[in-house]
Copies of this chain bind each other. A is one copy, B any other.
Amino acid sequence: MSAVPAEPELDAQLDLQLDPAVAALLRHDPAGLVAAVVQQHDTGEVLMLAWMDDEALRRTLTTGRATYWSRSRGEYWVKGETSGNRQWVREVRVDCDGDALLVRVDQEGAACHTGERSCFFRSLPGVEGGAA
């Protein structure tokens, strides 16, 4: 009812920022990214490693669907959007120095594009030494 024009673009822009308190915890690499370790929340299995910028983290936190920045394709990708192997986010943690995230998810199907459950399916030979 007012003659004052709305500023939808400005409003949208403000809504679309990562919480500044969260952003302040992050220490980005020169490309603006932090590493995201992805773990199945109940079994503890490490599924994959991906990358996030602030916007990918914002989308992940606000949608509950794991969203990454593809360094090779130069675009955001919602995990499972094409494969159907979606990741439902249960919790995101940040490490002590802010350059890595731990994304605890419920993974549908295979996390790896090869069809393996985890991207870490190859064991390297040669561990000698050993533990108590």
Contact = CB atoms under 8 A, between A and B. Distances in A.
Contacts of A81: none
A89 B123 CA distance: 13
Chain A, interface residues (CB within 8 Å), range:
35 or more
A132 to B, nearest CB: 7
B122 A93 contact: yes
A91 B126 CA distance: 9
A79 B44 CA distance: 22
Interface in A14-34: 19, 22, 25
A123 B93 contact: yes
Contacts of A61: 124-128
Given A46-B37, A120-B102, A62 B96 contact: no
A25 B62 CA distance: 36
A46 B65 CA distance: 21
A125 B60 CA distance: 11
A68 B35 CA distance: 17
Contact of A129 (B22, B65, B119, B126): B65
Interface string A41-61: 001111011000000000011
